[in-house]
Amino acid sequence: MMQIPFQKTIAHVARVSGRGYWTGKNVSLTFLPAEPDTGIVFRRIDLTGEPMIPALAEYRSDAQLRTKLVCDGASVEMVEHVLAALYGMGIDNCIIECDGAEMPAMDGSAYAIALAIEQAGRVTSDRQARTFKIGESIRLGDQQVYVQANASEQAGLTLVYHLDYGQGSPIPSSSSTCLLSPAEFLTSIAPARTFLTHAEAMKLQQSGVAQHVTHRDLVIFGDSGPIDNQLRFPDECSRHKLLDLIGDLALCGYRLEGMVFACRSGHNLNGRMAQQIRNLQLDPDESLIKAA
């Protein structure tokens, strides 16, 4: 018999702080328990009126190498690791107070945030969780770069990521799979760090961003592997891509049941998949009009 999932929030307040990659600014996050049907909502406590920004696909805005949310002129960015941590740890409702726009980079992974959520504990409400069972396949992208959502015989959400930047790239090709659960997320996905090639890192710093970031704050690949660093998993890069995928899919606002396969996809395509799923759930007729 299938177990009915109920909405969960955190049992206690959790706090995390650190500097953002792009701005270098120190930001504090306070995760607060929230009522059923709140969803995941950011609150900018540093701005007048403390505006709320719901973590839903309709507020997603395109930004370079990160996921940004904008609502009524207030924004938060680099939210993907925070959202992945909440989704991966099975939290449906939470208010995240932040005193800046850019989320803390930590060590480039979601481990510190996932651990803080794990330590805060979970409370189950008597309200059923909003779930979306993937039925008909949805595919976005082209032959080389795509995301595909399918129905699955297996209960829960299975995710697969295939990373392949070609033979010329210093980043090795790899594939990673996970059947999402809080335990699996905490040990196998959350610790996987973000990465760049040395050339990409140089280019970003020359453009004036991420001045304080060193080789130890993420994984930087030179021609002969990670520079001044060691990988936590042989397939750390594709595991990190799974982490990003989870954070971006969280913007659909539902717990997903089925299978999502992604090949070389990034935040834009992942976010569009979340929007597509959201459209199907919100109003099937409306989504047909939008697709036309």
Residues in the chain: 292
Q: Is 270 in the site for Zn ion (CB under 5 A)?
A: no
CB of 104 to Zn ion, least distance (A): 13
Specify the stretch interacting with Zn ion by CB under 5 A; choose among 70-78, 131-139, 169-177, 244-252.
244-252
CB of 63 to Zn ion, least distance (A): 13
Specify the stretch interacting with Zn ion by CB under 5 A; choose among 178-186, 202-210, 241-249, 259-267.
241-249
Distance of alpha carbon 139 from alpha carbon 200, whole angstroms:
29
Q: Examine the residue annotation and report whether 267 is marked as an active-site residue of this protein.
A: yes
CB of 240 to Zn ion, least distance (A): 6
Burial class (CB in 10 A: 0-12, 13-18, 19+), 230: exposed
CB of 212 to Zn ion, least distance (A): 18
State the Cα angle at 24 between 205 and 54, rounded to 5°: 115
Q: Which is nearer to Zn ion, 80 or 118 (CB)?
A: 80
Specify the stretch interacting with Zn ion by CB under 5 A; choose among 29-37, 98-106, 218-226, 237-245.
237-245
C-alpha to C-alpha distances, 80 to 84, 176, 202, 249, 274, nearest whole angstrom:
6, 18, 23, 9, 13
Distance of alpha carbon 126 from alpha carbon 59, whole angstroms:
28
Catalytic-role residue among 12, 212, 215, 267: 267
Specify the stretch interacting with Zn ion by CB under 5 A; choose among 71-79, 85-93, 192-200, 277-285.
192-200
CB of 102 to Zn ion, least distance (A): 13
Count of CB atoms situated within 10 Å of the CB of 199: 14
Token pair listed for 261: 């396969």
Q: Which is nearer to Zn ion, 32 or 82 (CB)?
A: 82
Q: Is 176 in the site for Zn ion (CB under 5 A)?
A: no
Token pair listed for 131: 């779930």
Q: Is 194 in the site for Zn ion (CB under 5 A)?
A: yes
**DSSP letters along 154-175, please?**
SSSEEEEEEE---TT-SSPPEE
C-alpha to C-alpha distances, 241 to 2, 29, 143, 205, 246, nearest whole angstrom:
30, 23, 19, 23, 9
User: Between 80-88 and 111-120, two packed helices, what is the crossing angle to 10 degrees?
Assistant: 40
Q: Is 244 in the site for Zn ion (CB under 5 A)?
A: yes
Q: Is 217 in the site for Zn ion (CB under 5 A)?
A: no
Q: Which is nearer to Zn ion, 85 or 96 (CB)?
A: 85
Active site residues: 267
Note the residues at the interface with Zn ion (CB under 5 A).
194, 244
